[in-house]
Structure 1
């Protein structure tokens, strides 16, 4: 379950407190006091078999004796009795409970959930501190602090973190819409809360304190959905490295758990921070809606030292100082009385310790007009010559006068008492303000990082530079043979055959059992030779003297092979030696050594790695992680998060690397990982990359029986290729029907451009000329786990280019019970039955996912759509609130479960 009945948990009309008590310092007493003193507007019914009254309110002996059915039950009784209490409440009709009791065994937790399940009853806990919703007067918790009302929601695993944050925030005047302690997450978890809070209009930002996640795909799906709607910011406890000791590949060693969480949060579009102060600073900054387009910061200050501090912090954090445009330089020269070329117009821009309000306002106005910076940081240091409050007023008025430009402005008034009123003024005007320049710069970088993460959710990726048809059958045959032979690792030769089957260029490699065969293979290949030992027991060949490079001629290869056998037997006497691999030396002196890898994470499944390669990869530690599946945009972003990225773009006389070839290799490896779940670890190291493309020199692949079948092991559901199909319309034309892709945004725009104005009005309920990028991205960048879009594509009769002729989509609620549909067919395709075919296909898909009902809203005058819905079996329902709109819906029955992945 997800959001079902969570309204009863956080918006109850009545509450029962099971285990209410008068005994001091007990959970039952503290919760009773908090409940009755919070101002809840509804009946609170204490249940205790021995007490006559609690908090001055008469008690009830049992759940059965309650006068009304409570929406919410707060349970404080010992663990062994909770399942029976839950069962009694469920039979009464209660649909939500907070279980504050602790000490549950796994068997007791399961018994509690089994008692709740028949009644669709939601459980927060066990071992939960409780839930606080100040705006509704709900404080069902043991918190010693009553939080203030606000519009920021906090969800945490740790009870003590909730109480600490509540105390920390209250002393600073920070309020909350929700404070939720998940406890042991027997039922309600982070995914449920993200779905619920994303749809709550009273919540402006969502804060998470995460120690662990128990359902990666559910979390990722909910987080990606929530992050599209409002800022989601997370503290993840535990940054220490926990690399699995059993990891044998470079990727397995490097992909430590905390780095994987970083990759997951980034892919979900949420922002990770380090501590409480940063958490609330980030929430305050992001939730003001300050727009940001880049990482170039202009710094305006009356104190040179503070400007230098801000600059240092900016560069350390990966931001850039803005370079003022010539027009801005001239305007500043006029205002500040300096001639062209003087340092007064540099960045940071120092305007003098005695700068009056007018100077601040005039200079800020110039900087806000300058498109060469992405934001302005205004600093003010205490000075006996100026009044900080009047300067703050001037800055505020300037920002408000430029509101139409929506140019981001951040402020930092240094000091304590002298800055208090200025900060209040900025806060009241929703201008971000911070105690010091470091915090202000950190907030700016929050905006930058958050924008980058959001771009990954909304930016249309470029098309893949080449189409490749992987030979997955050949790969599965190789992998199956190794598993049948109880081998964990493929040989280097097998690993390269796997890569070649997926279009990754590999060097010519041959297997030889003896030194004589190695010499013969060298003669066939010709040129310089690389000789490597072939052994299933040798993980890193160079560590045992099992690699020799630049060998010339068969005789040299034979001699080296004999010497290599001797070295390996001395260093690794237990290793089984199957022979040698003989391969051509790749003579690419300008090439960089990269690593592309993959490993399995216990929670998130496959994780991809990219970075600087070579034998010192663990020492260099220049790498980044990402979650599959990838596209070209995501692959480029992954590459861009490494230090070597700048070198790959070329410098001085060294040519740039073919970056598309590197990104495409990442995509191919991603597809391999998606297609073959038996691959547990993979290393391509080194992958040579230069201006001519890429070449895999060495590869290692670990295989085994996966814990989860197919794509179920992936944290993000991949493209469902099984839904591809060929259809024929009435006039005999054939089209490919397939799931929509992020790369299809240009096709969506083309489809809209080929609609009549009337058809667009009927579809979107208002006149429309074109879709915005954001709207088109939302149609194409979908989460296949909770949405589906099917498009019909085929060649344009005039140009032969692929175009979209129709699209249908459904968006399911988080409980996967109901889904809303939408369909659109090109205006010149009417009467060919394409819309009917697409609707049937999406309804079949909905049934396969277990969706019970599909519905939609149709303008009453859209008779063609209403007639098609009637033919398909939809029931028509009049909309009394909107007389011009008709609701149509169709019951799909029980369904047959989730569609195959």
Structure 2
């Protein structure tokens, strides 16, 4: 979808309400009253088939065709069976957007047998109108005096946008937010979301300067690829906080088909939101608590927390919750302890949490804050107060507010109680200091702030290079495609081993035998203990243990060291197989030498595919302890080493590995390499549906797969995050120097060479590129340049081998930022100073122009300083239109790429 006509939704100059009357219970009448009470400044009109002259003083006509003007926004409140026709008529009349508040369209059916809400969607697509709903509460934009809802009260203006799905939940949030003094920039619900979805709205809100934070209430994500792309852009610039309802099967609105190896959908949503940089909270109360810290608290420089209170009890409660959230207490310096000791009783504990005593005065609170501000170990302070007879809570609050001004500390407060501390809490709200009702809420909100920054920091970390994106895995692809063309839905055990082996994952040497005699013959070759596994068709599918209860029968017998033991064991395996899987075709036996040097820490790692979210990487315990409910963790491909380690850290097995492995760092790296490789396999060969390595064990050389299963799908799978587009790689030879250069999309691993590239540029080149002189580029600056969303951005780098052979260097780069609707892209290009004259700038620009034209972008734009003659000459050569922008004192560049397909795109370009 897109942001098409959303400006008309949020900022209409005229509105028509269909179906409104003066009956008290009439839905359209309620909306009309709210519009009028809110002071909507634009024109209003009512359409009602009854011959009213006006409704609540607003002019009324009988039909859409009789409207005296063309409204920008329509609010549809007519009966369900009339809604599709009404939407079509409004669209044909030129109305740009409609809010369908009518409910029940998911249950009422049209003549075709499909729910009416799909008829509304079809009518909207055919007539070109955008539709919010059906079954939505409507929307509010308080700063524009727009209350187009049937809610019982309006929202106060603010900087927070709320996008929900449930109207009843939204009504309670308005009430709740008003009591807490939280205002909204935008407030709406999607309802059935037949047209306008979360992704459209997030794209719009990400660009709106009046919106400083986005709150999401999610029940489902129908288009996860679009959602992920939109939220990743938004979360870079403003906090995005989400509540996902339907966390357990009993609360899910509709039954969901689960991928094999996963027992609940909730961990998948966790993985999606975490990868998008979203802070997920458990409920509406936590949403507003998190909002307090994310919008009012400074970024956390250190994660440790100092706690001070006028008593031991509150501090202990706060420490308990901090430990439960895996947070840490700050360690006070000796200087801080001695300074505090001058003001506290001699029997105080001399450590964090700090007990100020029950009679702590405003002056003591202020002095304690000033002392903590001098401690380099202290960055965050929770200040608590419990009501007492000796001091006034408001005076202490005033002292805390004054002491916090100008300090570097992150201060948040908890004034316990209710009736006697409300004024103090209001004082903190006015001062912009987060304040909470209990120690548990305060600590939880603080740790949410910490977790959010960890997620954001994770997305900016520089991954070490591991995956060879340029390797040719033709043999693995040939094996899979041969099986796919033959109509098979799985690979044989030997084929599966060959596929992962081609990608560098080591496997235990295996001999395949058709019968018991063959097993005996293989043992006779080396006369060493062996493990024997019976293979049948069902056993070649991933996660089969969890689907069939395989743990209740023997599939493998280990440590066999005689022919008689082997023969007897093979018969046992055959009996077990015939009893449990009589219809699964027998495929023979696998014989492996009993591996004496494999460690006992066993992992199950692999790939599964969700019908909505596509391929997923899974990691957790193997064997009887697999317990998918608690230890199987999920991540979205593509992975790099940073993301793989984050996935591993979330497993229970990671702690075992750290504690009991003989070489923990080497084993951690080995399993991360395996996870990244599995991610790459499913991207390179999208017909692979699932992969399971069970178990993955460790020896002195790293990770080794004991068994592996791979199944196939009829249709290729597509990750919801656009992977590295390998097909865009291109080799060229520079005409003057003769250097061989690769032109390719940027990778996150390119950060070191990108940093060096900018460091070596002349001050003038930097000024031409960034419109100012810059001496320093931080890790965050460069990370944002190289860690891109290939759906929204593209960066091509020109890299070549360094002359001393020590690795790659970047010689030039070109990037574009494309808007959410793929109408305009803005470019920037820079080439190393000593490479000028090689035509590299022209080559990079030509490649980017061809790329943007092929993906349907309408035009390319850019700004160039008026004295940047080389770039202006290049622009003329490429065919850009160049005009002088007097207001900005720059040259505006414009290059048409494709013809606009719709009138709306033409309007956008003109504006």
Match of 2:53 in 1: 52
Question: Residues 506 and 695 of structure 1 are in contact (CA less than 8 Å); yes or no, is this contact kept in structure 2?
Answer: yes
Q: CA deviation at 1:862?
A: 0.8
Deviations 1:311-341 (A, max 9, x none): 1111112212222234433433444365xxx
Match of 2:371 in 1: 366
Match of 2:704 in 1: 695
SS in 2 for 1:890: strand
Deviations 1:87-136 (A, max 9, x none): 44334432111122234444754554454446643211122221111111
Structure 1 pair 481–146 and aligned structure 2 pair: CA distance change class (3 A): same
Q: CA deviation at 1:196?
A: 0.8
Q: CA deviation at 1:896?
A: 12
Q: Which of 809, 812, 829 lines up with 2:818 in the alignment?
A: 812
Question: Residues 682 and 699 of structure 1 are in contact (CA less than 8 Å); yes or no, is this contact kept in structure 2?
Answer: yes
Q: Which of 759, 762, 779 lines up with 1:756 in the alignment?
A: 762
Q: Which of 789, 799, 802 lines up with 1:796 in the alignment?
A: 802
Deviations 1:506-527 (A, max 9, x none): 1001211111211222344663
Aligned pairs for 1:515-664 (under 5 A) are 515-524=516-525, 527-538=528-539, 539-540=544-545, 542-588=551-597, 590-618=599-627, 621-650=630-659, 656-664=665-673
Structure 1 pair 828–653 and aligned structure 2 pair: CA distance change class (3 A): closer
**Separation of aligned partners in 2, 1:593 and 1:670:** 20
Structure 1 pair 615–491 and aligned structure 2 pair: CA distance change class (3 A): farther
Structure 1 pair 409–888 and aligned structure 2 pair: CA distance change class (3 A): same
Aligned pairs for 1:3-82 (under 5 A) are 3-49=3-49, 50-82=51-83
Question: Residues 799 and 810 of structure 2 are in contact (CA less than 8 Å); yes or no, is this contact kept in structure 1?
Answer: yes
**Separation of aligned partners in 2, 1:88 and 1:435:** 52
Match of 1:198 in 2: 206
**Separation of aligned partners in 1, 2:560 and 2:667:** 29
**Separation of aligned partners in 2, 1:653 and 1:363:** 47
Match of 1:387 in 2: 392
Aligned pairs for 1:732-881 (under 5 A) are 732-798=738-804, 800-881=806-887
Q: CA deviation at 1:365?
A: 2.5
Deviations 1:275-330 (A, max 9, x none): 21111111121112421144322211222111111111111122122222344334
**Separation of aligned partners in 1, 2:526 and 2:824:** 62
Match of 2:315 in 1: 307
Q: CA deviation at 1:839?
A: 0.3
Aligned pairs for 1:214-253 (under 5 A) are 214-241=222-249, 252-253=260-261
Q: CA deviation at 1:695?
A: 1.0
Structure 1: which 5+ runs fail to align?
none
SS in 1 for 2:185: strand
Q: Which of 701, 704, 712 lines up with 2:713 in the alignment?
A: 704
SS in 2 for 1:154: strand
Match of 1:439 in 2: 441
Q: Which of 674, 688, 703 lines up with 1:679 in the alignment?
A: 688
Q: Which moved more, 1:556-565 or 1:432-441?
A: 556-565
Question: Residues 86 and 115 of structure 1 are in contact (CA less than 8 Å); yes or no, is this contact kept in structure 2?
Answer: yes
Match of 1:488 in 2: 489
Q: Which of 416, 424, 444 lines up with 1:414 in the alignment?
A: 416
SS in 2 for 1:648: helix
Structure 2: which 5+ runs fail to align?
903-911
Question: Residues 532 and 582 of structure 1 are in contact (CA less than 8 Å); yes or no, is this contact kept in structure 2?
Answer: yes
Question: Residues 13 and 42 of structure 1 are in contact (CA less than 8 Å); yes or no, is this contact kept in structure 2?
Answer: yes
Match of 1:889 in 2: 894
Match of 1:165 in 2: 173
**Separation of aligned partners in 1, 2:469 and 2:848:** 28
TM-score (norm 1): 0.93
Match of 2:465 in 1: 463
Q: CA deviation at 1:85?
A: 3.6
Deviations 1:763-793 (A, max 9, x none): 1111111222222122111100111110000
**Separation of aligned partners in 1, 2:565 and 2:236:** 62
Question: Residues 36 and 44 of structure 1 are in contact (CA less than 8 Å); yes or no, is this contact kept in structure 2?
Answer: no
SS in 2 for 1:537: helix
Q: CA deviation at 1:825?
A: 0.6
Aligned pairs for 1:416-431 (under 5 A) are 416-431=418-433
Question: Residues 598 and 698 of structure 2 are in contact (CA less than 8 Å); yes or no, is this contact kept in structure 1?
Answer: no
Aligned length: 883
Question: Residues 323 and 372 of structure 1 are in contact (CA less than 8 Å); yes or no, is this contact kept in structure 2?
Answer: yes
Match of 1:500 in 2: 501
CA RMSD, 1 decimal: 2.5
Match of 2:906 in 1: none
SS in 1 for 2:825: strand
Match of 2:676 in 1: 667
Question: Residues 797 and 810 of structure 2 are in contact (CA less than 8 Å); yes or no, is this contact kept in structure 1?
Answer: yes
Q: CA deviation at 1:801?
A: 2.4
Question: Residues 657 and 690 of structure 1 are in contact (CA less than 8 Å); yes or no, is this contact kept in structure 2?
Answer: no
**Separation of aligned partners in 2, 1:522 and 1:392:** 81
SS in 2 for 1:638: helix
SS in 2 for 1:321: coil
Q: CA deviation at 1:668?
A: 0.2
SS in 1 for 2:280: strand
Aligned pairs for 1:82-481 (under 5 A) are 82-104=83-105, 105=109, 106=114, 108-117=116-125, 120-241=128-249, 252-254=260-262, 256-336=264-344, 338=346, 344-402=349-407, 405=408, 407-464=409-466, 467=468, 472-481=473-482
Question: Residues 46 and 55 of structure 2 are in contact (CA less than 8 Å); yes or no, is this contact kept in structure 1?
Answer: yes
**Separation of aligned partners in 1, 2:707 and 2:372:** 53
Q: CA deviation at 1:437?
A: 0.2
Question: Residues 290 and 446 of structure 2 are in contact (CA less than 8 Å); yes or no, is this contact kept in structure 1?
Answer: no
Q: Which moved more, 1:162-171 or 1:432-441?
A: 162-171
SS in 2 for 1:140: strand
**Separation of aligned partners in 2, 1:522 and 1:327:** 72
Question: Residues 151 and 175 of structure 1 are in contact (CA less than 8 Å); yes or no, is this contact kept in structure 2?
Answer: yes
Question: Residues 850 and 896 of structure 1 are in contact (CA less than 8 Å); yes or no, is this contact kept in structure 2?
Answer: no
Structure 1 pair 887–471 and aligned structure 2 pair: CA distance change class (3 A): closer
Q: CA deviation at 1:139?
A: 1.1
**Separation of aligned partners in 2, 1:487 and 1:55:** 68
Structure 1 pair 373–644 and aligned structure 2 pair: CA distance change class (3 A): farther
Structure 1 pair 95–245 and aligned structure 2 pair: CA distance change class (3 A): closer
Question: Residues 743 and 796 of structure 2 are in contact (CA less than 8 Å); yes or no, is this contact kept in structure 1?
Answer: yes
Structure 1 pair 571–53 and aligned structure 2 pair: CA distance change class (3 A): closer
Q: Which moved more, 1:854-863 or 1:99-108?
A: 99-108
Structure 1 pair 527–336 and aligned structure 2 pair: CA distance change class (3 A): farther
Q: CA deviation at 1:75?
A: 1.7
Question: Residues 461 and 632 of structure 1 are in contact (CA less than 8 Å); yes or no, is this contact kept in structure 2?
Answer: yes
**Separation of aligned partners in 2, 1:273 and 1:894:** 44
Deviations 1:808-867 (A, max 9, x none): 111110001111111111111111100000001011110111101010011111111111
Q: CA deviation at 1:499?
A: 1.5
**Separation of aligned partners in 1, 2:338 and 2:468:** 52
